[in-house]
Amino acid sequence: MSARSLGGVLFSICLMFGVSSSSGAAPPRVEFAVASAWSGGFTGKVRIENRGTSAIDGWVLSWIAGPTIADAWNATLTRTGEMSNAADAGWNKRIAPAGSVEFGFSASGQLQESVRSCQLNGATVELTYVGSIAGSQATIPPAPAPTPAPTPAPALQPASATSLRTVVTIDSQWSSGYTATITVSNVGSASVTHWSIIWPDGPAIASLWNGVLTRDGSTVRIADAGWNGSLAPGASVTIGFVGDGTWSNTMSASLGVSAAQASAPAPTPTPTPTPTPTPTAPPAPTPAPPSTPEPPLAPPVGTSVVHYEAPQWPELFFAPYADVTLWPPVDLAHAAAVGSTKFFTAAFVVAGQGTACNGTWGGYSAYTPESLFLADQIDRLRARGGDLMVSFGGASGTELAGACASATETALAYQEIIDAYKLTHIDFDIEGYWVAEVASRERRSQAIKLLQEWAARDGRELVVWYTLPVLPQGLTADGLAVVSSALEWGVDLAGVNVMAMDYGPNSAPPAAATMGEYAIDAAESVHTQLSWLYAELGVDRSAAEVWNMIGLTPMIGQNDVAGEVFTLADAALVRDYAQLRGLGMLSMWSLTRDGPCAEGPSAWASPKCSGISQASGEFACTFGGVCHP
């Protein structure tokens, strides 16, 4: 589970227009920034900060000249001559004192300091520009939107050795490992397909996403994941991995890449921008109104690998995430026996080997219900009155809705896991590339609707949660589209759990608030968004009912983003807030991180310790109740 952030280079000072209010309050600050750029244009974001003493309830930002905007999201844009007007989108109309909102846009050309007479609700603002990206600071980078596969040419031949280039970037390091990005770019004049990275004496890779990993002795081979196998001229694809040990720059020297090449050169397309995972990321295209889903198949008679039935869950619960594929393996039943936590969220079930339409833990073919993976733990846990919720998705691997060909096949793959473990609670952790990918989004919504119809037919309980990236300002446009799609297809969502972590300094300056306060800001924003979504659909939900639909999952201790640290004091603050508001779910990433690092406090995020001074299990005790000595 991971979110992402992008760093920028400030290339101009604030431009003051000399307007101040009678009360002496500072004027609003407006920032135009580049999020990503390419040869013919860029995606940008506009941040509006309220520096006054009262809330802004509804806003219209107006300016003369500036970038030539083709599309905008999180705001309604109109343009007359040189005058542009961006109005709030409804759910983001309120800007609290010291708060901010953001909207995004795509534009041609380059961002230049050309905006004139910028006003918010008729009042002149302080204007700032932020320039081109200096380099990603993300721990796990977002996957790019896949290039549509071209129609294969009649014949294929080996691609020119000079047509593909690879660049390895180390995103973060800690004492026992690191995360890295490999970018494969097609610099030739013809499309290539079915690329492979061949890496003699390659690194020890613990997990990989956006590719299929095999190893022959010391040689590492990474093949495309299917959906990202075709690269048009000028296009690129990004693969990420977690490596064990220490990275050495000499590891890049032997890396090679090969592919098949279409026999006839393809016309050079206009490159498209890679969407960023901030709230201003380009949203997925608006889907067509839901149509009648395909006729469902009757679910097969499920085969269970556990003996105990799931117990009744409390209405409000704490269920920390546990990465069950880590080594050494986590023992959930033991954790429940020695602590106050009885309920857990097990992560993550994804497509087998990245492409197969069957659920496996972490994508590993050996970790399946048929192998009895987790079966003994679940029985021991349920014998103590506890249970787990299985989470599908996560930051790595391919979500089943992306690997399966139809909604029914997707539903059957989900149902196989539900039957095997006799589950009553499931979670869909949707992040990275899969937040914005439209086809899998609609397929997932239809599949979950089928799951709920099957459960109702059989008299079974099936509680469905979504887990999505968030910033203090709320869900991203893509995240909202995921929730909206589910509701439009008729999915009965128990709640939306937000990953209150890895915001980045632009959205959550460390000096402005604590991580606990930012988590509360995120919950408040999501409450507004969900209330607005249900109102738009004509569904009556009270404020208390919407609060009960919200979950909070912070990353305890040191986050992936430097400077973001979620402390035990933050945990107590969030726990008290959750009780006050009646939030349906509290969680944390993750159970295996709830302890001190052997080498002491660390500025790097580790999967096995928090990086701060704490007693073992102290976060779970703070969130979940009584701590045992």
Residues serving a catalytic function are 431
Q: Which residues pair with 356 in a beta bridge?
A: 352
CA–CA gap between residue 66 and residue 113 (Å, rounded):
7
Q: Which residue in this structure is represented by tokens 């009912």?
A: 545
Count of beta carbons in the 10 Å neighbourhood of residue 19: 11
SS3 35: strand
CA–CA gap between residue 378 and residue 45 (Å, rounded):
46
| CA distances (Å), origin 159, targets 156, 253, 316, 403 | 9, 20, 57, 27
Cis-peptide into 590, omega within 30 deg: yes
Q: At what angle do helices 568-581 and 515-536 cross, to 10 degrees?
A: 30
The C-alpha angle with vertex 543 and arms to 537 and 545, in degrees rounded to 5, equals: 80
57 burial type by CB count under 10 A (0-12 exposed, 13-18 middle, 19+ buried): exposed
Assess contact for 436 and 430: CB atoms under 8 A. Answer: no
Assess contact for 123 and 19: CB atoms under 8 A. Answer: yes
Start-to-end CA distance of the chain, whole Å, equals: 30
Sign, CA torsion 86/87/92/96: positive
Assess contact for 100 and 506: CB atoms under 8 A. Answer: no
Q: The tokens of 441 are what? A: 């989004």
Assess contact for 507 and 7: CB atoms under 8 A. Answer: no
The C-alpha angle with vertex 517 and arms to 512 and 518, in degrees rounded to 5, equals: 75
Q: The tokens of 367 are what? A: 């970790």
| CA distances (Å), origin 579, targets 386, 557, 583 | 21, 22, 7
* 317-318 vs 585-586, strand pairing mode: parallel
Assess contact for 381 and 387: CB atoms under 8 A. Answer: yes
The torsion angles phi and psi of 169, rounded to 5 degrees, stand at -120, 130
Assess contact for 384 and 334: CB atoms under 8 A. Answer: no
Residue 264 DSSP one-character state: S
| CA distances (Å), origin 538, targets 161, 448, 488 | 58, 21, 11
**Cβ partners under 8 Å of residue 381, min gap 6:** 332, 333, 336, 342, 344, 387, 388
Where b means 16+ CB within 10 Å and e means fewer, 264-299 reads eebeeeebbbbbbbbbbbbbbeeeeeeeebeebeeb
CA–CA gap between residue 111 and residue 96 (Å, rounded):
28
Q: Which residue in this structure is represented by tokens 């380059």?
A: 110
Closest CA to 590 of 467, 425, 463: 467
